[in-house]
Amino acid sequence: MNRFILPVVIFVALAGVLYVGVRHSPNKSTMVSALLGKPVPTFELPVLGAPGRTIRSAEFAGQPWVLNVWGTWCVECRIEHEALLAIAREKRVPLVGLNWKDEDDAAQQWLATLGDPYVVTAVDKEGRTAIDFGVYGAPETFFIDAAGLVQYRHVGAMTAEVWEREFLSRLTTRGLP
């Protein structure tokens, strides 16, 4: 019986340290990204609902823009959708959708039903572009500055508070409206 006490004590101590670390983490929705401060990954992808049309990352050169990775299968994406619609109504920065590993019909129905916050939605059926961005799961949202550098990555559902604190502050610090 005594030989089990030490492993249990060690396990409980490690679990306690892990719990405290996670509980007191300053920002659980920000993940370090190897892309921060680096050029946005280049892509050319089909546009949702526009057969034969493609969108390239280069089309946003010279202006800040936001890329939101989403899918109809993503529960958190539905949760953040109202916030994205509100952000789109502000028209402060182009909001680009990256529909990740989804069916076109389902994605088009989603946007028709819930509203379309995006200036354009790129289709990433294979997930290669999401991999280039280092996406772990949807939703993830990236802020790309006017120089084409990835400046911020938010993991999880977008909220008005996150938008104000992390995205708008980056727009205004660069002297933009």
Q: Which residue has the higher pLDDT, 3 or 92?
A: 92
pLDDT of 62: 95
Whole-number Å distance between alpha carbons of 6 and 12:
10
C-alpha 142/C-alpha 144 separation (Å) is 6
What's the whole-model pTM score? 0.81
- Once rounded to an integer, what is the mean pLDDT over residues 74-97? 97
How many whole angstroms separate alpha carbon 85 and alpha carbon 110?
A: 13
Q: Which residues pair with 141 in a beta bridge?
A: 68, 154
SS3 147: coil
Record the tokens describing residue 2, joined without a space: 């005594």
Share of the chain above pLDDT 90, in %: 76
Query: How many angstroms separate the CA atoms of 173 and 177, rounded?
Result: 10
Is it the case that residue 53 has pLDDT exceeding 50?
A: yes
Average pLDDT, the chain: 88
- pLDDT tens-digit readout, 138-177: 999 999 999 999 999 999 999 999 999 999 999 876 535 4
Compare 30 and 118 and report the one with higher pLDDT: 118
Q: What percent of the chain has pLDDT over 70?
A: 81
pLDDT of residue 5: 80
Q: Out of 24-33, 36-45, 75-84, which region has the weakest mean confidence (pLDDT)?
A: 24-33
Model confidence at 64: pLDDT above 80 = yes
Domains of the chain, CATH where assigned: 29-172 (3.40.30.10)
- Asked whether the CA dihedral 118, 119, 124, 130 is positive or negative, the reply is negative
Query: Residue 42 pLDDT > 90, yes or no?
Result: yes
Tell me what the mean pLDDT of segment 89-95 comes to: 96
Band of the pLDDT at 50, cuts 50, 70, 90?
very high
The whole-angstrom separation of Cα 58 and Cα 69 is: 18
Lowest mean pLDDT among 29-33, 82-86, 99-103: 29-33
Is there a contact between 36 and 152 (Cβ–Cβ < 8 Å)? yes
Distances (CA, A) of 128 to 7, 125, 153, 156: 43, 8, 18, 20
Q: pLDDT tens digits for 24-38? A: 544 444 456 678 999
The tokens describing 30, both together, are: 């920000």
